[in-house]
Amino acid sequence: MYRKMLSPAAAKVFSLLLLFISSWEICSVKSTVTYDRKGLIINGQRRILFSGSIHYPRSTPEMWPDLLKKAKDGGLDIVDTYVFWNGHEPTRGKFYFEGRYDLVRFIKLAQQAGLYVTLRIGPYACAEWNFGAFPAWLKFIPGMEFRIDNQPFELEMQKWVTKIVDMLKAEKLFETQGGPIILSQIENEFELVEWNLGDRARVYGQWAAHMAIGLNITVPWIMCKQANAPDPIIDTCNDFYCDWFSPNKDYKPKMWTENWTAWVQQFGTPPLYRPHEDLAYSVLKFIQTGGSMNNYYMYHGGTNFDRTNGAFVATSYDYDGVIDEYGLPSEPKWGHLSELHKVIKTCEPTILNSEPTVIPLGPHQEARVFNPPTGGCVAFLSNHDPNLPVNLTFWNLQYELPPWSISVLPDCRTAVYNSAIVTARKTEKKMIPFQGALQNWESYSEGTSSSDSSKTFVKYGLTEHLFLTRDTTDYLWYTTEVFIDPSEGFLYNGQDPLLNIMSAGHGLNVYVNDQLQGLHHGSLETPQVTFSKKVKLRGGVNKISLQSVAVGLPNIGTQFEKWNLGVLGPVTLSGLNEGTRDLAKQNWTYKIGLEGEDLGLPFTGGNSSVQWVQGPTLAKNWPGTWYKTTFDAPEGNDPLALDMRTMSKGLIWVNGHGVGRYWSASIAYGNCSPHPCYYGGFMNNQKCLSGCGKPSQIWYHVPRSWLKPTGNLLVVFEEWGGDPTGISLLRRTI
Ligand SMILES: *[C@@H]1O[C@H](CO)[C@@H](O)[C@H](O)[C@H]1NC(C)=O
Ligand SMILES: *[C@@H]1O[C@H](CO)[C@@H](O)[C@H](O)[C@H]1NC(C)=O
Ligand SMILES: *[C@@H]1O[C@H](CO)[C@@H](O)[C@H](O)[C@H]1NC(C)=O
Ligand SMILES: *[C@@H]1O[C@H](CO)[C@@H](O)[C@H](O)[C@H]1NC(C)=O
Ligand SMILES: CC(=O)N[C@H]1CO[C@H](CO)[C@@H](O)[C@@H]1O
C-alpha cells in the first residue's frame, strides 16, 4: 500500500507548478487544463469527473455514436481509451486509421456527444489485447527489448507516440485547441516492471515520461500505477478500490484510471461479475476521501474481433461493463451508477471547496462532512461492515445503512442515495434464435501437412512460430520425414516407437502419415504443450506433420516479447532399433497459415476452383475443416450473435469481417475453482461467478453494420472438429 509522502519545499513546488501552467498559457490563452490537489481544473473550473473506458476497435464506428450517447446519458464526463498500435501499424510503415481503427473519428464523435477524452497512448496497452498492442514486427528489429532502456525500442516508441500526438494536434483535438482531449497517458502500469527489472527499467520509465513532456501536448500527462512519475506528470491509481491512494505530490489530484467493473474472461474461466452495489460503494468511498476522477474499466468492454485477443483471452470482452458487449445498458448497473453521478454533480462545488471533517460513528462507521465557509453542506455516511446493517445517528437524525454501503446527504440531512439500495430496474436480456439453425452448409477440408501446398519452404531444424508467421495467421505447419529401413523390420521388440514433442505453445495438432495423433493445447498459466505417444510407423518414408497454433499473443508479464511460440524441441523418436533419433537435427518443411487462407476462403468463400461439398458428404466432426453458408439478416435493429456450441475451436468471418476466435470445446469450459471472488465485502462466489462448467463463451457478436439484407457469407474454420448444422443466429433483446 502506498504511503503519503511528505511534501517537498513548498516554494519549489509552487515554482514548478507555475512553470507548468505558464507553458500551457503560451499555447492558448483561453482554454486550459491544469490541476491542483483537489482536482483537474478545466478552463478555470475545478471538477469532479466520471470517466468510462470504451476501446474504439472493440465496437464498430456504427455503434460509436450510440455507445457515447449512452455514456453521456449515464452521467459520464470523459471517455477513456487506449491507442492500439498494432491495429494502426500492422506492417511497419503501413498505417491504418480506417473502420474500427478510425481514432480521429472516435474522438470527434466523443466530443459531439459532449464528452471529454482521456487518451492512453501507451504505447503499451496491456488491455488483454494481442501483444499488449505492440506490433509483431517490433519484436524482430535487431537488438529489440520492449519497455526497458533500449535504443531500438525507444526510437520506435518515440516515433509512434510523436506520430499520434502530431496527428491529434493537426486535427485540433486537444482541449486547449478546442478539442475534447483533457488527459493523455504515457506508458501503462510500469511500476511493476520497474520492481522486477531494476535500473534499466527505471531509466526507461523516466525517459518515457520526459519524452512525453517534450511533446508539448498542453494538457496534463498521467501515468497509472507509477509512484515515481516525474513532475508534472500525475500518477494515478488502478484497482478495485482506490480510497487508500495518494499521488506522489500533494499538489496533484487523486485520480483513479481503472476502476475494474469486473475482470477479464479467458477461454476456460467463467464470466465474472462485480456487484453494482460494490462498484458504487467503491466510487463513493473514493470521492469522500478526496478523489476527483474515477474511470470505469470497462464502461463498454465490447468484443475482441478478428484475432485481437491477448493469449487465451475470450473473444467477448464484456467485462460486466455498464453497457454490455452488444451495446445495451446492463441494468441495474447503468441506472444505479447514473443516479450516483447525478447526486455527486449536485454536490460538486461543496466537495471541491473543502476538506472533509471525519466523525466516527461506530467501529466500522463514520461520517465525512464537507462544510466549506463558502456555503453548502454535504455528508457521506459509511457503514464499512461487510455483513451487518446499522442505524446511525448523525446530527440528531437516524439513518439506516445496509452493510458495506455509503449514503450521500447533499444537504447534510436527507439521504438521497445509498450505494447498496438499488432503485434502477433490472432488465433480463434474452437471446432469441432467428429461424432456428442455419442451413445449406458446405465444407472444405484442409490437408494434413505442409506438403499439400505449393507455398512451402525447407529449413534445417526447428524455427520459432512467430518469427515465421509474424502474426499474419494463427497457424504454422512443421513437416518432416522419417526413414525407417524396411530390411531392419520395424516392430522394435514388438513396441511402437515413442514420439516426443515439446511446443512452447499454444496449440499442437499432430499427424503421422496423415493420421491424426492428437489435438493438444496449453493454457494462459501453462502455454507449453507436450506430446508423448507411441505411433505406428511403416518401413520406408514416414511423414510427421505438426500444426502449431497461436491463440493470441501474451499481453502482460516481464519482457513478454521474449516468450517463444511453436515447436522448438525437443522432438524425438525413441525406441527405434538405433535408439533415439533427434528430429530437431534434420530438415523441416514449413507452411505459413492454412491452405484455405491462401485460397481467400475467409473473405470470398474462394473461387470456383475450390471444391466445396455439401449434403450427405458434408464433413462433420473432422479436424481442419472450412464451412460456409449464406444467411439473410433478421429484420429490426436488435444486436446479433452466433451460437457456436456445437463447434469446438476455430475462427469465424461474416462478409469477410473477422468475428473472432471461438472456442467451445469442453476444455474451454468455465472452471470456477481457481477463481474466488475478491470484491471487498462480497467474498462470496455466488455474487460474481456463474456459468461454471459451461463453455466460457457460446455467443459471438456479429455487428449489424457488417450485414446486408440478404445473402450474407458466413465462413467458419473448425480446427478440431464440430457440427456446423447446430450453428444458429440469435437476436439479443431486452
Ligand atoms: C516544446 O516546447 C519547447 C519549449 O518551448 C521547445 O523547445 C520544443 O521544441 C517543443 N517541442 C515540440 C515537439 O513541440
Ligand atoms: C433501525 O431502526 C428501525 C426503526 O426504528 C428498525 O425498524 C430497524 O430494525 C433498525 N435496524 C437496525 C439494523 O437496527
Ligand atoms: C536440407 O535442405 C536443404 C535446403 O533445401 C538441402 O540443400 C539439403 O540437401 C537438405 N538435406 C537433406 C539431408 O535432405
Ligand atoms: C482461383 O484461385 C486460385 C488461388 O488464388 C488461383 O490460382 C486460380 O487461378 C483461381 N481460379 C479461377 C478459376 O479463378
Ligand atoms: C494498464 C493495464 O495493464 N491495465 C490493465 C489492468 O488490469 C485490467 C484488468 O485485467 C486490464 O484490462 C488493464 O488493461
At 104, which CATH number?
Answer: 3.20.20.80
Domain closes at, from 593, 616, 646: 593
What's the predicted TM-score (pTM) here? 0.92
Query: What is the number of the ligand 1 atom nearest to the C-alpha of 162?
Result: 13
Q: What percent of the chain has pLDDT over 90?
A: 81
**Mean pLDDT (whole number) for 332-361:** 97
Residues 628 and 588 placed together within one structural domain of the fold:
no
Say if 134 falls within a structural domain.
yes
Domain containing 661 equals 430-444+602-733
Indicate if the pLDDT at residue 22 is higher than 50. Answer: no
Residues 266 and 407 placed together within one structural domain of the fold:
no
Residues 140 and 281 placed together within one structural domain of the fold:
yes
Domain closes at, from 533, 563, 593: 593
What spacing in Å lies between the alpha carbon of 108 and ligand 1's midpoint?
A: 26
Distance CA 345, CA 351 (A): 10
Say if 10 falls within a structural domain.
no
Instruction: Give the number of the ligand closest to the Cα of residue 481.
Output: 3
14: pLDDT confidence band, cut at 50, 70 and 90? very low
Residues 696 and 547 placed together within one structural domain of the fold:
no
Indicate if the pLDDT at residue 19 is higher than 60. Answer: no
Residues 57 and 188 placed together within one structural domain of the fold:
yes
**Mean pLDDT (whole number) for 648-653:** 98
pLDDT value of residue 362: 97
3-class secondary structure, 72: helix
* Residue to mutate (ligand 3; options 451, 456, 457, 458; most atoms within 8 A of CB): 458
Instruction: Give the number of the ligand closest to the Cα of residue 457.
Output: 3
* Residue to mutate (ligand 5; options 54, 58, 118, 128; most atoms within 8 A of CB): 128
676: pLDDT confidence band, cut at 50, 70 and 90? low
Among residues 652, 623, 646, 622, the alpha carbon closest in space to that of 712 is found at 652
Indicate if the pLDDT at residue 30 is higher than 80. Answer: no
Containing 570, the helix (H) or strand (E) segment is: strand 567-576
Among residues 250, 290, 78, 266, the alpha carbon closest in space to that of 181 is found at 78
Say if 464 falls within a structural domain.
yes
Instruction: Give the number of the ligand closest to the Cα of residue 590.
Output: 3
Q: What is the pLDDT of residues 55-101, one digit of tens each?
A: 999 999 999 999 999 999 999 999 999 999 999 999 999 999 999 99
**Mean pLDDT (whole number) for 212-217:** 97
Residues 669 and 531 placed together within one structural domain of the fold:
no
pLDDT value of residue 31: 86
Assess whether the C-beta atom of 391 lies below 6 angstroms from ligand 2. yes
Say if 13 falls within a structural domain.
no
**Could you confirm whether 189 is annotated as catalytic?**
yes
Say if 19 falls within a structural domain.
no
Residues 451 and 440 placed together within one structural domain of the fold:
no
Residues 196 and 305 placed together within one structural domain of the fold:
yes
Distance CA 434, CA 729 (A): 6
Among residues 237, 229, 228, the alpha carbon closest in space to that of 290 is found at 237
Assess whether the C-beta atom of 457 lies below 6 angstroms from ligand 3. no
* Residue to mutate (ligand 1; options 167, 216, 217, 219; most atoms within 8 A of CB): 216
CATH code for position 712: 2.60.120
Q: What is the pLDDT of residues 542-562, one digit of tens each?
A: 999 999 999 999 999 889 999
Residues 383 and 301 placed together within one structural domain of the fold:
no
Closest residue to atom 14 of ligand 5, CA basis: 127
26: pLDDT confidence band, cut at 50, 70 and 90? very low
* Residue to mutate (ligand 5; options 296, 297, 308, 558; most atoms within 8 A of CB): 297
Torsion of Cα atoms, 578 then 583 then 584 then 588, to 10°: 150
Say if 576 falls within a structural domain.
yes
User: What residues contact 643, with CB distance under 8 A and at least 6 apart?
Assistant: 431, 433, 698, 699, 726, 727, 728, 729, 730
Q: What is the pLDDT of residues 311-328, one digit of tens each?
A: 999 999 999 999 999 999
- Read off the C-alpha cell for 382: 459509511
Mean pLDDT of the chain: 91
Assess whether the C-beta atom of 19 lies below 6 angstroms from ligand 1. no
Domain closes at, from 331, 362, 387: 331
492: pLDDT confidence band, cut at 50, 70 and 90? low
Say if 226 falls within a structural domain.
yes
What spacing in Å lies between the alpha carbon of 397 and ligand 2's midpoint?
A: 13
Containing 26, the helix (H) or strand (E) segment is: helix 10-27
Residues 296 and 358 placed together within one structural domain of the fold:
no
pLDDT value of residue 691: 77
Residue with more model confidence, 687 or 692? 692
Q: What percent of the chain has pLDDT over 70?
A: 92
Q: What is the pLDDT of residues 257-285, one digit of tens each?
A: 887 777 778 888 887 788 899 899 999 99
Residues 185 and 302 placed together within one structural domain of the fold:
yes
Closest residue to atom 9 of ligand 1, CA basis: 214
The count of structural domains within the chain is: 4
Instruction: Give the number of the ligand closest to the Cα of residue 23.
Output: 1
Assess whether the C-beta atom of 390 lies below 6 angstroms from ligand 2. yes
- Of 145, 154, 171, 189, which one is the catalytic site residue? 189
pLDDT value of residue 269: 83
Say if 17 falls within a structural domain.
no
CATH code for position 518: 2.60.120.260
Residues 156 and 288 placed together within one structural domain of the fold:
yes
pLDDT value of residue 5: 31
- Of 187, 258, 277, 446, which one is the catalytic site residue? 258
pLDDT value of residue 677: 61
Assess whether the C-beta atom of 393 lies below 6 angstroms from ligand 2. no
**Mean pLDDT (whole number) for 188-200:** 92
Closest residue to atom 2 of ligand 1, CA basis: 216
Alpha-carbon 237 to chain mean position: 18
Distance CA 267, CA 263 (A): 13
